[in-house]
Amino acid sequence: MPKPVQIFSESVTKRWLPDHAEVWRYVPLRTLFFYLNGLVFIPSVAKLRTEDPFEGEFYEEIAWFNSAFQDQYGNEANVIEGWIFKELCSDDERHHIEINKGYPNAATEVFRRHYFDFVRRTRFAWCWFQSYRESAAMWSVYGNQGVAIKSNVGKICKVLENTGREFIYGRMTYVDYRSGVSTEFNPENKSDYRLLLRPFFLKRKEYESENEVRFVTSGHDRLDHGGILIKKLPPQEWISEIRLWPGLTGDEEQSIQKAAQHFVPNIDCQKSDLFSGPGSDSFLTNLILEDLEKPIDASWTQGSDGIPNSIKSP
Protein backbone atom coordinates (compact mmCIF):
# COMPACT_ATOMS: atom_id res chain seq x y z
CA MET A 1 0.00 0.00 0.00
CA PRO A 2 1.39 3.45 -0.90
CA LYS A 3 2.24 5.62 2.09
CA PRO A 4 1.16 9.29 2.00
CA VAL A 5 4.14 11.50 1.14
CA GLN A 6 4.69 14.89 2.73
CA ILE A 7 5.46 17.66 0.23
CA PHE A 8 8.01 19.35 2.50
CA SER A 9 11.12 17.70 3.86
CA GLU A 10 12.00 17.70 7.54
CA SER A 11 14.72 20.26 6.84
CA VAL A 12 11.98 22.82 6.09
CA THR A 13 11.28 23.15 9.79
CA LYS A 14 8.52 25.78 9.61
CA ARG A 15 6.45 23.65 7.22
CA TRP A 16 7.26 20.10 8.27
CA LEU A 17 4.40 18.29 9.97
CA PRO A 18 5.32 15.75 12.68
CA ASP A 19 2.99 12.78 13.11
CA HIS A 20 1.78 14.13 16.44
CA ALA A 21 0.58 17.44 14.93
CA GLU A 22 -3.08 17.83 15.89
CA VAL A 23 -5.66 18.68 13.24
CA TRP A 24 -9.40 19.38 13.26
CA ARG A 25 -12.33 19.18 10.86
CA TYR A 26 -15.43 21.28 11.54
CA VAL A 27 -18.36 19.63 9.78
CA PRO A 28 -22.18 19.36 9.82
CA LEU A 29 -23.67 16.80 12.19
CA ARG A 30 -24.72 14.47 9.36
CA THR A 31 -21.07 14.31 8.21
CA LEU A 32 -20.15 12.88 11.63
CA PHE A 33 -22.40 9.91 10.99
CA PHE A 34 -20.86 9.34 7.58
CA TYR A 35 -17.47 9.25 9.33
CA LEU A 36 -18.78 6.90 12.02
CA ASN A 37 -19.91 4.56 9.24
CA GLY A 38 -16.41 4.55 7.73
CA LEU A 39 -17.24 6.89 4.84
CA VAL A 40 -15.28 9.99 3.85
CA PHE A 41 -16.17 12.37 1.01
CA ILE A 42 -13.19 14.25 -0.45
CA PRO A 43 -14.06 17.15 -2.78
CA SER A 44 -12.21 17.96 -5.98
CA VAL A 45 -10.14 21.14 -6.16
CA ALA A 46 -12.68 22.28 -8.77
CA LYS A 47 -15.44 21.82 -6.17
CA LEU A 48 -13.47 23.88 -3.63
CA ARG A 49 -13.16 26.54 -6.32
CA THR A 50 -16.89 27.27 -6.04
CA GLU A 51 -16.14 28.75 -2.60
CA ASP A 52 -12.87 30.45 -3.57
CA PRO A 53 -12.45 31.30 -7.28
CA PHE A 54 -8.67 31.56 -6.81
CA GLU A 55 -8.46 27.96 -5.56
CA GLY A 56 -5.90 25.99 -7.58
CA GLU A 57 -4.65 29.04 -9.48
CA PHE A 58 -1.10 29.51 -10.72
CA TYR A 59 0.65 32.47 -9.08
CA GLU A 60 3.88 32.94 -11.02
CA GLU A 61 5.28 33.77 -14.48
CA ILE A 62 4.96 31.43 -17.47
CA ALA A 63 8.72 30.84 -17.42
CA TRP A 64 8.41 29.18 -14.01
CA PHE A 65 5.68 26.92 -15.31
CA ASN A 66 7.78 25.95 -18.35
CA SER A 67 10.74 25.06 -16.17
CA ALA A 68 8.73 23.11 -13.60
CA PHE A 69 6.76 21.25 -16.29
CA GLN A 70 9.89 20.13 -18.12
CA ASP A 71 11.64 19.11 -14.90
CA GLN A 72 8.64 17.18 -13.62
CA TYR A 73 7.81 15.22 -16.76
CA GLY A 74 11.09 15.09 -18.69
CA ASN A 75 10.69 13.06 -21.86
CA GLU A 76 6.96 12.69 -21.13
CA ALA A 77 6.40 16.46 -21.42
CA ASN A 78 5.95 16.28 -25.19
CA VAL A 79 3.56 13.33 -24.83
CA ILE A 80 1.43 15.26 -22.35
CA GLU A 81 1.41 18.39 -24.49
CA GLY A 82 0.39 16.27 -27.48
CA TRP A 83 -2.45 14.73 -25.48
CA ILE A 84 -3.63 18.16 -24.29
CA PHE A 85 -3.47 19.49 -27.86
CA LYS A 86 -5.49 16.57 -29.22
CA GLU A 87 -7.96 15.89 -26.40
CA LEU A 88 -8.47 19.14 -24.49
CA CYS A 89 -7.89 22.01 -26.91
CA SER A 90 -10.72 23.43 -29.00
CA ASP A 91 -10.42 23.78 -32.78
CA ASP A 92 -9.84 27.51 -32.34
CA GLU A 93 -7.09 26.89 -29.82
CA ARG A 94 -5.37 24.37 -32.09
CA HIS A 95 -5.55 26.88 -34.93
CA HIS A 96 -4.14 29.59 -32.66
CA ILE A 97 -1.20 27.35 -31.74
CA GLU A 98 -0.51 26.44 -35.36
CA ILE A 99 -0.41 30.02 -36.63
CA ASN A 100 1.75 31.18 -33.70
CA LYS A 101 4.47 28.55 -33.86
CA GLY A 102 7.05 31.32 -33.88
CA TYR A 103 5.94 32.43 -30.44
CA PRO A 104 6.74 29.59 -27.99
CA ASN A 105 4.67 30.96 -25.13
CA ALA A 106 1.54 31.15 -27.28
CA ALA A 107 1.21 27.37 -27.13
CA THR A 108 2.40 27.18 -23.54
CA GLU A 109 -0.25 29.59 -22.32
CA VAL A 110 -2.95 27.35 -23.81
CA PHE A 111 -1.34 24.16 -22.48
CA ARG A 112 -0.93 25.69 -19.01
CA ARG A 113 -4.58 26.69 -18.82
CA HIS A 114 -5.77 23.21 -19.79
CA TYR A 115 -3.19 21.51 -17.58
CA PHE A 116 -4.38 23.30 -14.44
CA ASP A 117 -8.01 22.83 -15.35
CA PHE A 118 -7.31 19.09 -15.66
CA VAL A 119 -5.46 19.10 -12.33
CA ARG A 120 -8.31 20.88 -10.55
CA ARG A 121 -10.80 18.28 -11.83
CA THR A 122 -8.67 15.23 -11.03
CA ARG A 123 -7.13 16.15 -7.66
CA PHE A 124 -9.15 15.74 -4.48
CA ALA A 125 -8.30 17.51 -1.23
CA TRP A 126 -9.25 16.54 2.32
CA CYS A 127 -8.84 19.79 4.23
CA TRP A 128 -8.00 20.09 7.95
CA PHE A 129 -7.32 22.90 10.42
CA GLN A 130 -4.00 22.50 12.24
CA SER A 131 -4.09 23.59 15.88
CA TYR A 132 -3.56 22.25 19.39
CA ARG A 133 -6.87 23.75 20.49
CA GLU A 134 -10.35 24.47 19.19
CA SER A 135 -11.04 27.61 17.16
CA ALA A 136 -14.03 29.89 17.73
CA ALA A 137 -13.62 31.22 14.19
CA MET A 138 -13.72 27.73 12.67
CA TRP A 139 -16.81 26.88 14.70
CA SER A 140 -18.45 30.01 13.34
CA VAL A 141 -17.58 29.47 9.69
CA TYR A 142 -17.69 25.68 9.28
CA GLY A 143 -19.10 24.05 12.39
CA ASN A 144 -22.34 25.85 13.24
CA GLN A 145 -24.70 23.29 14.82
CA GLY A 146 -22.21 20.62 13.78
CA VAL A 147 -19.17 18.93 15.24
CA ALA A 148 -15.39 19.24 15.40
CA ILE A 149 -13.42 16.08 14.70
CA LYS A 150 -9.94 15.90 16.20
CA SER A 151 -7.15 13.73 14.81
CA ASN A 152 -3.43 13.94 14.13
CA VAL A 153 -1.27 13.70 11.04
CA GLY A 154 0.11 10.25 11.86
CA LYS A 155 -3.32 8.67 12.33
CA ILE A 156 -4.66 10.13 9.10
CA CYS A 157 -1.63 9.00 7.12
CA LYS A 158 -1.92 5.49 8.50
CA VAL A 159 -5.60 5.10 7.64
CA LEU A 160 -5.15 6.64 4.17
CA GLU A 161 -2.35 4.17 3.48
CA ASN A 162 -4.92 1.38 3.63
CA THR A 163 -7.10 2.94 0.89
CA GLY A 164 -4.78 1.81 -1.89
CA ARG A 165 -4.73 5.39 -3.20
CA GLU A 166 -1.68 7.60 -3.63
CA PHE A 167 -1.77 10.64 -1.29
CA ILE A 168 0.47 13.63 -0.78
CA TYR A 169 0.00 16.06 2.09
CA GLY A 170 1.30 19.24 3.64
CA ARG A 171 0.66 22.68 5.04
CA MET A 172 -0.88 25.29 2.78
CA THR A 173 1.32 28.18 1.65
CA TYR A 174 -0.45 31.55 1.71
CA VAL A 175 0.18 34.04 -1.08
CA ASP A 176 -0.59 37.73 -1.44
CA TYR A 177 -2.48 37.47 -4.72
CA ARG A 178 -2.99 41.21 -5.18
CA SER A 179 0.68 42.16 -5.03
CA GLY A 180 1.80 38.95 -6.75
CA VAL A 181 4.54 38.41 -4.17
CA SER A 182 4.78 36.52 -0.92
CA THR A 183 7.37 36.24 1.80
CA GLU A 184 6.33 32.58 2.09
CA PHE A 185 6.43 31.60 -1.58
CA ASN A 186 9.53 31.95 -3.72
CA PRO A 187 9.93 29.58 -6.71
CA GLU A 188 13.71 29.96 -6.48
CA ASN A 189 13.57 28.06 -3.19
CA LYS A 190 13.72 24.31 -3.63
CA SER A 191 10.87 23.76 -1.17
CA ASP A 192 8.56 26.10 -3.14
CA TYR A 193 9.55 24.96 -6.62
CA ARG A 194 7.52 21.75 -6.34
CA LEU A 195 4.37 23.80 -5.67
CA LEU A 196 4.45 25.33 -9.16
CA LEU A 197 2.57 22.33 -10.58
CA ARG A 198 0.56 21.85 -7.37
CA PRO A 199 -1.26 25.14 -6.85
CA PHE A 200 -3.82 23.33 -4.69
CA PHE A 201 -1.26 23.78 -1.90
CA LEU A 202 -1.35 27.57 -2.42
CA LYS A 203 -4.06 29.86 -1.10
CA ARG A 204 -4.67 33.58 -0.73
CA LYS A 205 -3.41 35.38 2.38
CA GLU A 206 -7.00 36.16 3.31
CA TYR A 207 -7.38 32.50 4.39
CA GLU A 208 -4.18 32.35 6.42
CA SER A 209 -6.02 32.12 9.74
CA GLU A 210 -7.36 28.69 8.71
CA ASN A 211 -3.85 27.23 9.10
CA GLU A 212 -4.85 24.51 6.67
CA VAL A 213 -3.34 21.09 6.08
CA ARG A 214 -4.37 19.08 3.02
CA PHE A 215 -4.25 15.43 2.06
CA VAL A 216 -4.50 15.20 -1.74
CA THR A 217 -5.12 12.25 -4.04
CA SER A 218 -5.91 11.91 -7.75
CA GLY A 219 -8.43 10.11 -9.92
CA HIS A 220 -10.90 10.53 -12.77
CA ASP A 221 -12.95 13.71 -12.60
CA ARG A 222 -16.27 13.52 -10.77
CA LEU A 223 -18.09 16.42 -12.39
CA ASP A 224 -21.51 15.07 -11.38
CA HIS A 225 -20.63 14.64 -7.71
CA GLY A 226 -17.75 17.04 -7.14
CA GLY A 227 -15.59 14.54 -5.32
CA ILE A 228 -14.78 10.96 -4.37
CA LEU A 229 -16.28 8.76 -1.68
CA ILE A 230 -13.75 6.66 0.21
CA LYS A 231 -15.12 3.69 2.13
CA LYS A 232 -14.00 1.47 4.98
CA LEU A 233 -12.04 4.02 7.01
CA PRO A 234 -12.64 2.74 10.56
CA PRO A 235 -13.36 5.86 12.64
CA GLN A 236 -11.65 4.49 15.74
CA GLU A 237 -8.39 4.41 13.79
CA TRP A 238 -8.28 8.11 12.94
CA ILE A 239 -10.72 10.04 15.16
CA SER A 240 -9.17 11.10 18.49
CA GLU A 241 -11.99 13.20 19.93
CA ILE A 242 -15.43 14.51 18.96
CA ARG A 243 -16.53 17.96 20.07
CA LEU A 244 -20.20 18.91 19.65
CA TRP A 245 -21.53 22.34 18.80
CA PRO A 246 -21.42 24.46 21.98
CA GLY A 247 -25.01 25.65 21.53
CA LEU A 248 -26.60 22.23 22.09
CA THR A 249 -29.01 21.60 24.96
CA GLY A 250 -28.16 18.93 27.49
CA ASP A 251 -30.70 16.52 25.99
CA GLU A 252 -29.33 17.07 22.49
CA GLU A 253 -25.80 16.46 23.71
CA GLN A 254 -26.78 13.20 25.41
CA SER A 255 -28.66 11.96 22.34
CA ILE A 256 -25.69 12.52 20.04
CA GLN A 257 -23.27 11.07 22.58
CA LYS A 258 -25.36 7.92 22.82
CA ALA A 259 -25.46 7.54 19.03
CA ALA A 260 -21.71 8.13 18.68
CA GLN A 261 -20.85 5.68 21.46
CA HIS A 262 -22.65 2.96 19.53
CA PHE A 263 -19.93 3.24 16.85
CA VAL A 264 -16.91 4.43 18.84
CA PRO A 265 -17.43 3.68 22.54
CA ASN A 266 -13.83 4.52 23.45
CA ILE A 267 -13.64 7.96 21.78
CA ASP A 268 -14.30 11.02 23.94
CA CYS A 269 -17.44 12.79 22.69
CA GLN A 270 -18.75 15.86 24.48
CA LYS A 271 -20.05 19.37 23.93
CA SER A 272 -17.51 22.11 23.29
CA ASP A 273 -17.30 24.87 25.87
CA LEU A 274 -16.90 27.49 23.14
CA PHE A 275 -19.74 29.33 21.44
CA SER A 276 -20.19 29.51 17.63
CA GLY A 277 -21.93 31.75 15.11
CA PRO A 278 -23.71 31.59 11.76
CA GLY A 279 -23.87 29.34 8.80
CA SER A 280 -22.60 26.08 7.38
CA ASP A 281 -23.80 23.76 4.67
CA SER A 282 -23.46 20.12 3.68
CA PHE A 283 -23.34 17.86 0.68
CA LEU A 284 -23.10 14.17 1.50
CA THR A 285 -26.70 12.99 1.96
CA ASN A 286 -27.13 10.88 -1.19
CA LEU A 287 -23.57 9.64 -1.73
CA ILE A 288 -23.85 6.71 0.70
CA LEU A 289 -26.02 4.93 -1.87
CA GLU A 290 -23.49 5.25 -4.67
CA ASP A 291 -20.24 3.44 -5.39
CA LEU A 292 -18.14 6.07 -7.11
CA GLU A 293 -14.91 4.13 -7.24
CA LYS A 294 -14.93 0.90 -9.21
CA PRO A 295 -16.08 1.52 -12.77
CA ILE A 296 -14.58 4.92 -13.35
CA ASP A 297 -11.22 4.53 -11.61
CA ALA A 298 -10.47 1.15 -13.17
CA SER A 299 -9.49 2.79 -16.45
CA TRP A 300 -7.57 5.49 -14.55
CA THR A 301 -5.39 2.99 -12.67
CA GLN A 302 -5.04 0.49 -15.53
CA GLY A 303 -4.06 3.15 -18.07
CA SER A 304 -6.78 2.26 -20.57
CA ASP A 305 -8.28 5.78 -20.72
CA GLY A 306 -5.63 7.19 -23.05
CA ILE A 307 -4.40 9.76 -20.50
CA PRO A 308 -0.58 9.71 -20.12
CA ASN A 309 0.19 7.97 -16.80
CA SER A 310 2.79 10.56 -15.82
CA ILE A 311 0.17 13.31 -15.57
CA LYS A 312 -1.97 11.31 -13.14
CA SER A 313 0.24 11.33 -10.06
CA PRO A 314 -0.78 13.86 -7.41
User: Are residues 24 and 131 in contact, defined by beta-carbon separation less than 8 angstroms?
Assistant: yes
* Cβ neighbours of residue 219 closer than 8 Å, sequence gap 6 or more: 122, 124, 165, 228, 296, 297, 300
Radius of gyration of the chain (CA): 21
| Alpha-carbon span 200 to 56, nearest angstrom | 4
> Contact, 212 vs 203, CB < 8 A?
yes
Beta bridge partners of 169: 6, 215
What residues does 126 pair with on adjacent strands?
A: 215
Q: Which residues pair with 213 in a beta bridge?
A: 128, 171
- The per-residue pLDDT for 182 is 61
Q: In this predicted structure, what is the pLDDT of residue 277?
A: 43
Rounded-to-integer distance, Cα 234 and Cα 222, Å: 24
Identify which of 48, 51, 27, 47 has the alpha carbon closest to the alpha carbon of residue 39: 27
User: Hey, is 36 helix, strand or coil?
Assistant: helix
Write phi, then psi, for 172 (nearest 5 degrees).
Answer: -75, 150
How high is the pLDDT of residue 284? 42
Positive or negative: CA dihedral 226, 231, 235, 239: negative
Instruction: Note the pLDDT of residue 180.
Output: 53
Q: What is the pLDDT, as a whole number, of residue 150?
A: 98
Confidence (pLDDT) at 280:
36
Spatial contact of 40 and 228, defined as CB atoms under 8 Å apart? no
- CA 68 – CA 71 distance, rounded (Å): 5
Q: Nearest-CA neighbor of 120 among 108, 132, 109, 112?
A: 112
pLDDT at 286: 45
pLDDT at 177 (0 to 100) = 66
Q: Which long-range contacts (CB under 8 A, 24 or more apart) does 98-106 make?
A: 105/62
For the chain, 314 residues long, give each residue's pLDDT as a single digit of tens. 789 999 998 888 888 999 999 999 999 999 999 999 999 999 999 999 988 888 887 767 888 888 999 999 999 999 999 999 999 999 999 999 999 988 878 899 999 999 999 999 999 999 999 999 999 889 888 988 899 999 999 999 999 999 999 999 999 988 876 655 566 777 777 778 888 899 999 988 888 889 999 999 999 988 788 999 999 999 999 999 999 998 888 899 999 999 999 999 999 999 998 754 444 333 443 444 455 455 667 777 878 888 888 888 88
Residue 228 to residue 218: CA distance in whole angstroms: 10
